Structure 1
Amino acid sequence: MASTQVSQPQQPKGSFRVALDEHLPVDHRLSRVYRVGAGLMGLVLLAFGILGLTHNIGFFDIGHHSVAGLNTNGALSVLSICVGLLLFVGMVIGGNFASTLNMVLGVLFILNGFIGLGMLDTDYNFLNFRIQNVIFSFIVGVALMWFGMYGRVGSALPHDNPYWKARHPDQAAEEERARQG
């Protein structure tokens, strides 16, 4: 019985495909950046959430209750603790998981900032956002995206970078052959 091979569709010359699930070497120096970013942001959010819960503010209370200069309520405190713990999980796992988690949560924080901005002074502001919360959300979102994208995107990545190699496999192979021979 003859076996049939299914061939992969050929990509046009010059195009590239980079999957987000490519793995860095375990000890790659970029993993430290992703871990530190996730850990720092997780620590900030965890501290904010815990301080909010210790103030015994109602779960959906929309008064002027603030912690560390940011308005909060029980729901926002619990949400902050959950996201902070998720970032700690990313810090522990590291590698591409931490990088992707940082990027995704960064985008979500920026979107949350826009949503919070639209809900200021409305009855739908159940997380008790004020303008300082919106600005904080934008800052955390940009910081998380920066930590997640560091060394992964850019026009001047070094040629030993695993993401550069994945985007330029022909040139990477050629440079490797030149180094060996």
Structure 2
Amino acid sequence: MAHTPVNHPARPIYRAIGGIVGLYFVVFGGLGIIASAGNDFLAQDDTKVLGQGTNMAFSLLSVLVGVVILVGTAIGRNLDVAINQWLAYTLMVIGLAALAFLQTDANIFNFSIMTDVVVLTLALVLLMVGMYGKVGSDDEHEAWQKARLVL
């Protein structure tokens, strides 16, 4: 897309922010696995980690999401951009679905409102990181500059 920034001057900062988000998911998931050990996989109880509701399923999902983000960030080469954007959209869907089912038996990840706020916020941060972290050739950068100046 011509309107997505290419070779943005702050892309190392955005890449670092993506890594921090991935690290947060790994730490949260690891603490969640410890806190929910011995509970049912999809338990809907009062297990909380860092003020957020969780269970073993969401903790494992968080570790998986964090590791994927960290691997994408380490590899770079626009793979991190694709991973961050797709995971951002996926986390938004999960967060909005969890918000819809927060007070029902369909709350399979044991979300609390704080968990939902954090997941949706981190999804938006990942989307921003994915949009500004793209690396390309000088021709792609020039095409982006021309498209930006026309708009």
Segments ≥4 residues shifted beyond 6 Å: none
Q: Tell me, what secondary structure is at the counterpart of 2:78?
A: helix
5+ residue gaps in structure 1?
A: 1-16, 153-159, 171-181
Q: Residue in 1 aligned with 2:25?
A: 45
5+ residue gaps in structure 2?
A: none
Give a deviation string over 1:50-75, Cα, whole Å, max 9, x none.
00111214311100110000000000
- With over 3 angstroms needed to count, the CA separation of the structure-2 counterparts of 1:49 and 1:58, relative to structure 1, is same
- With over 3 angstroms needed to count, the CA separation of the structure-2 counterparts of 1:165 and 1:128, relative to structure 1, is same
Superposition TM-score, scaled by structure 1 size: 0.68
Deviation at 1:162, TM superposition (A): 6.1
In the alignment, the residues of structure 2 paired with residue 130 and residue 86 of structure 1 have an alpha-carbon distance, to the nearest angstrom, of: 24
Deviation at 1:168, TM superposition (A): 6.2
Deviation at 1:133, TM superposition (A): 1.2
Deviation at 1:169, TM superposition (A): 7.4
Q: Residue in 1 aligned with 2:72?
A: 90
Do the aligned partners of 1:50 and 1:81 also contact (CA within 8 Å) in 2?
yes
The structure having more radius of gyration, on CA atoms, is 1
Q: Residue in 1 aligned with 2:108?
A: 126
Q: How many corresponding residue pairs?
A: 141
Q: Does 1:135 align with 2:112?
A: no
Instruction: State the superposition RMSD in angstroms.
Output: 2.8
Q: Residue in 1 aligned with 2:142?
A: 165
Kindly indicate which of the two structures has a greater share of residues assigned to helix: 2
Choose the corresponding residue for 1:64, options 42, 46, 65: 46
